[in-house]
A and B are shown apart, each in its own frame.
Chain A
Amino acid sequence: MNPQHLKYSQNHEWIRDDGVVFVVGITDYAVEQLGDITYIELPEVGLDVAQDDDVASIESVKAASEVYAPVGGRVAQINQRLLDQPEIVNKSPYEDGWFFKLEDIERAEFDALMSASEYESYLKEQ
């Protein structure tokens, strides 16, 4: 269920290597835990972030939580559509529901993240 070509963090973010930029979103598991998402706050473009910084806020009917940067880098682009239509994340967490794109990332941090199968094992321990 979790796409093979992505890397995963322990905070349930995914990150995709698109060459120049790296796309970040939250996993199906995270979405499932949150339920219907009602509000998303995104970082400003150009913001420098370190790994595990809280960079976005997410609220559902049930709870409020944070989205953390899976790797250090700089925010290159944000998914503006989520501001008005946060429910996109419920419908498409791995495609249309991406949160932001990072550039100039810490490559070593990226390499150390979990693969899809490692993330599956990690979820089983939760």
Chain B
Amino acid sequence: MKAVLEARNVKRTPLYDEHILRGAKMTEFHGWMLPVQFKGILEEHHHTRSKCSVFDCCHMGEFRLKGPKAIRSLEAMVFNDMICLKVGRCRYSSILDTCGGIIDDVIAMKLSEDELFVVTNAGPYEKVARILYRVCLATDVTAGTAKIDVQGPLSRRVLLDLGLRDIEPLKYFTCCRTQWQGSEMLVSRTGYTGELGYEVFLPNALAAPFWREVTAHPAVEPAGLGARDTLRLEMGYTLYGQDVDESHTTLEAGMGRFIDWNSEFHAKEFLVMQRELGRYKVRTGIRSMDRRAPRPGYEVFHEGRPVGVVTSGSYGPSVGYGIGMAYIPVELSMPGTRLTAGPKDMEIVTEEFPFYKNGSFKG
């Protein structure tokens, strides 16, 4: 097994041994060995919605941008404002190519007036690292930084029980630095599940001790990529490389509401044209009529005519029916459009995101 891993250059997170000890089912995800599930996807999904789960997200990228010039340079590539972002706030954004294609979607956190912390995906990591270095002279801190997501309605209680008192006042999409066992860590109130939750960035050496301590809490269970996928899908959040990538513009990806049209960025001219022309396929929520689910790759039909393709789809454990997302023409994307999908002409209907509306994330 070791030889195979090395030959294919599959990386391990600092929590790899913890997962093996727990008997997690492991899989390769964008070059990393990560747990798909511990006890079962459904159980982990419901545990996150009702109590608190922890996720190993050490595969993700982290970069530090220092100085107004670096932040301005980043701003030229993303669709919203970074300079005026207030200290302690987080912002969802995307690094775009000049035609609005999504090179990566990111969370930026303003650590101080002149420092930005940027969290990126594992898939496009090499490319993003190159761009952020060349354009912003960013410091890549990925290799030394572990990321553990603590998500669920009880997550605040759990972190307070671990002694992280500084997180108590954090509002949705804000962050703070704090200390744990004498080491500094960064905590943001952000997440990918739709529940109250935090993303904890800490030195690699602290990852396993922190993981052991948080999983020892009676409210906490570890959860894998499987539950992470059903949880994010119920919220309509995208998975980079599957639902969004460079072949879709940010408008097509349905991120129009995040775009700051007053901000100046290199893809703006193209996106303004695309918006005015209005003829494109947009990422749209779809649902089935029962527990069957549309699946990635299913073709979508309107009155028998092929109109698009499903990028994500699964059973939604908290909504009780099949859900997914598909790229379909804007004129068919309003909620309630009846379509069919897949080889068996599954009946589907377009629906607004999020599918799951009782999430505690803003509570």
Interface status of A123 (Cβ within 8 A of chain B): no
Q: Taking CB as reference atom, which chain A residue is nearest B226?
A: A61
A36 partner, pick from B41, B292, B293, beta carbons under 8 A? B41
B315 partner, pick from A38, A41, A57, A90, beta carbons under 8 A? A38
A35 partner, pick from B37, B290, B295, beta carbons under 8 A? B37
Interface residue count for B (Cβ, 8 Å)? 16
Interface contact A39-B41, CB-CB below 8 Å: no
CB contacts (< 8 Å) of A64 on chain B: these are: 292-293, 295
**8 A Cβ contacts from B309-339 to A:** 314-315, 317, 322
Bound: A57/B37 CA distance, A = 24
CB contacts (< 8 Å) of B295 on chain A: these are: 63-64
- Interface flags, A57-85, vs B, CB<8A=1, else 0: 10111111000000000000000000000
- Interface flags, B178-190, vs A, CB<8A=1, else 0: 0000000000000
Using C-beta atoms within 8 Å of the partner chain, give the interface range for chain A.
10 to 19
Interface contact A39-B292, CB-CB below 8 Å: yes
- Interface flags, B272-311, vs A, CB<8A=1, else 0: 0000000000000000001111010000000000000000
Most buried by B among A57, A60, A87: A60
Interface contact A61-B230, CB-CB below 8 Å: yes
Q: Taking CB as reference atom, which chain A residue is nearest B227?
A: A61
Interface contact A35-B293, CB-CB below 8 Å: no
Interface contact A61-B314, CB-CB below 8 Å: yes
Interface status of B131 (Cβ within 8 A of chain A): no
Bound: A38/B319 CA distance, A = 12
Instruction: Give me the 3 closest cross-chain CB pairs, A-B, nearest first.
Output: A38-B315, A39-B291, A36-B42
Using a CB–CB distance below 8 Å, which chain B residues touch chain A? 37, 40-43, 226, 230, 290-293, 295, 314-315, 317, 322
